[in-house]
Structure 1
Amino acid sequence: MRRTEYYSPGVGRHGAFLQMTAPNAYPPDTYQQTGQARRFTAGRTVAETWNLAVYGPAFPYMPRPAEWAGRLGDQVRVSVPMFTDQDPRRFGFSQTVKARTTLHRDGVLVGESPSAGSLRGTVPAGRGAFRLHTRAQRADVSELSTDVSATRTFASDTVAGETAVDLPLLAVRFALRLDDRNRASVRVPGVRAAQRGGRTA
């Protein structure tokens, strides 16, 4: 679906895309939103594409520190958007039928939750090597990115003071050229690489 919208120039706006099974249903089946307000200038036409696969974890810039994953003292809070569309300025969530998030420190389980990318808890004091793993299976709302998983390893230490510090997490995003129905061309370019001395055949 395509539509034309008009906005006052210079006024910040947050865009959002929701899918719901019924009017005013809460929570929505899927949800995409811009992390920061976007401003448009007069006399320009800008194209925005919403709900474009591949969906996955994302960490768009947010003005508040530790918005997606942080530590204060020995309290850890994680809330990773696991079903975000292609736009790097957005974050996205989806209803799931099965999900689990676990946090290990030095190989020992220190936290878990039945939520997609979300976890809160206290970890042992001091520096440690952490592994954060999430797997989320999407509800019957989309045929795309129905099973998303991510594992991240990072180091973290006790955070002094009153301000949470971001955990050093990364996400790999896929930006395929798709049509309005999220269909790819028959041929998708790719690169195959091997370490020096390795075999590619």
Structure 2
Amino acid sequence: MSVARTAFALARRGPLRVPIRRTFATSSLRKASKYELKPSDNPGKLIPFDEVKKESDLLGPGAPPGTIPTDLEQATGLERLEILGKMQGIDIFDMRPLPSDRVGTFEDPIVVNSAGEELQCGCTGCPEDSHHVRWVVVSRDRPYERCDECGSVYKMKYIGPPDDPHDHHHHHGYSEPKTMADYVKEDYWYR
């Protein structure tokens, strides 16, 4: 009985090591691949933020062969626009927190800039962190919204491209769901 206990105790203390072997080597597969990596025929170029005019200006040049690319060399699209803006001290996405030193009212709302049709704002109350984050959704159709916890009013200011008369308000049969605000008398509506 003591031999069994000793064997069990030793087995419990030491890790079980089983040698694991690789079944194949990937390097030989990579060498035998019919696809070869080639540098781009039309490499992008490094241009400053002020000279970005079209989408093709947001393609990076890539790294020279045999080197690891930096973020500036490999970033494309919005990420590249953000990096170029930060290099010149411009915050493209305006990531500053919303003011929480006051409660917004309909006469003096907390204004939030947006280039899109809709935006979600996180309200933490006044003073800051007086309640958990409550998400308030403002849109172009409903620019004013009120936090249901503290009553702070947020207003969306649209700063995006001008309207395309063919695209606006065509939601293909979708209608905005009704809320309690739709049943309030017109005398109490904000203007």
Superposition TM-score, scaled by structure 1 size: 0.23
> Which protein is richer in helix relative to its size?
2
> Which protein is richer in strand relative to its size?
1
Structure possessing the higher relative contact order (Cα contacts under 8 Å, 6 or more residues apart) = 1
Structure possessing the higher radius of gyration over alpha carbons: 2
Superposition TM-score, scaled by structure 2 size: 0.24
